Structure 1
Amino acid sequence: MEPLNQRSTTPLERVVSQRALQMSNSFTCQICVVALFCGLCIVSLILAILGNFQFAHFSMLNLSFNSDLNTTITHCSFKPKQIERLTDLKSDQDERVSLLYSAWSCVLTEPTTERSKCLWKLGISESNLPNAPHLENCKAKSLLHNRLDTRIVNDSFPPWTSRKGLLNMHPLAVSEGTHPPWIAGSDEENYPLTRKVQRDIWVHQHPSNCSDPNVKFLLADWERLPGFGIGAQIAGMCGLLAIAINEGRVLVTNFYNRADHDGCSGPSRSSWNCYFFAETSVECRQRALELVKIEDALSKGILTTKENYTSKHIWAGPTPRIWGDPWNYLQPTTDINGSLVASHRKMDRRWWRAQAVRYLMRFPTEYTCNLLNEERHAAFGKMAAKMVLKSLIGEWPKVNSPLIFLFGIED
């Protein structure tokens, strides 16, 4: 009798179990099983070796590039010779660009003695310094603007011209066809009647004889309240210029708080002409300042000040109509609820403010020109240096010695 805990087997199961036992005892079967396990082990070992080699190779390449081509691994350099040469050329080019940029920075310094010392420290002579395409010759440009903004000896008009070309070679009297030199482009490229309006404003603000009893003046300070920014100050002065033209007066501006600093020295201190050419001639300014001390001038209306007009008259007064309604020819540019409005009551004011601002800022002074040079140099100086160095023929800079600055002698 079989034990209770022993599971009964079928005849088929007993036959299979006996056959499996016989096969396991077979020597051939054992050899096959061992070979199979050995093959699996060899394949695993080969895959592991290949994986470690690829990982190590990738790590070495990554280290060689991330170390700026200067790190060696196990005393081996991975930098190709071409990359070394390109790196040296780039470093040399960057040094030349920085040197030229610094030399141009020296040119911006004043006075001339300080400029020469600055260049001497860099080992560069000013005669060997390439011209900076992004910088203007402020002194020469200021002299030219002064000539174009001043009547000549016989009280005739400045040497403006009615066509493009050298202004100094075509001194023509101001006529209907004469173009103000501060306006670029044709009439079609500007606001309607811009060139005529600019010409007429200049003529109005520069009478031939400021001492003539028939010449009247409007003397006004710029707005100086803390809440008024430069935009509000300019808008207010545009209104005062409109009043002066409507009343046949010469506008003379006086105190300008944004010019009350050490950068604006001498007569330009606290004056608009620290930044831009004055709105009128020196003679008319002196005459207005003389009249302000005379009581009869104020009582007789020869001179008025800003206090003679209300704020509404200054800020929203009538636009000069001596040129008609040129703003009616403007294309509609005001968008209201998706539609362009062809005409509205503020179009004339916008047109006039554009004309007034253009006149008040017609010519920058030498001080403003220098400020613009500094800003352009800070923004575009290195870019300009790269362009100039690419265009130069031969090497720059040449090897100079301090004797150049003492005697002007070059090897």
Structure 2
Amino acid sequence: MICRIWGDPWNYLQPTTDINGSLVASHRKMDRRWWRAQAVRYLMRFPTEYTCNLLNEERHAAFGKMAAKMVLKSLIGEWPKENGRKPKSDIDKFVWSNHKPWVPRPLLSMHVRMGDKACEMRVVEFEEYMQLADRIRSHFPNLNNIWLSTEMQEVIDRTEEYSSRWNFHYTKVRRQDRSNVSMAEYEASLGRERSTNYPLVNFLMATDSDFFVGALGSTWCFLIDGMRNTGGKVMSGYLSVNKDRFW
């Protein structure tokens, strides 16, 4: 009944997914994509203290030094010793305290899926993902930071080739050094807690980033895209290295 009342909203949305330089206007899974996005957003609508703590730890590890340098650079003279005991004004308590934790903006999230995914979709090299990142930066020249998520150590190693032009940030977790290891086997090697926490951090960082580069053939990217579409990021676009394998 709800489906009939709401109609077919996916047929009226502005296409924002780019593949090979063209926007994907329609495909046979548009209804499923729209409904799944609503469901994921509903399930994730209330952030828990646990996830907030996870994000704070990773943001501090990734961006803490950058934030500290900005604070020190903004100081006039020496560090004010009485700053911690200074009473807060109303705007401090009720307005500025509502701001989200700091991350470098604009921020591009990139999920590089390789490994055992080759049995389900066309796997591409890291270079193709970076070409899409360069496309975005050609329109937004102040874009310098990438939040990178991947299961392959090879991808992390290759970021050195682009370090003169980009700042890469990622979770500090042991990654696969062989492409023939299944995802289930890899996650089991990390342990239940670690294999749950670090993907959750990557997921939430990706949904909050300003831009996204991924692979439509990846179920994980599918979920990220759904959260971004329902979280005010839909008009940022989605650049994909391949098509969804079910289209």
Superposition TM-score, scaled by structure 1 size: 0.18
Which structure has the highest strand share of the two? 2
Q: Whose relative contact order is higher, 1 or 2, with alpha carbons under 8 Å and at least 6 apart?
A: 2
Superposition TM-score, scaled by structure 2 size: 0.28
User: Which structure is larger by alpha-carbon Rg, 1 or 2?
Assistant: 1
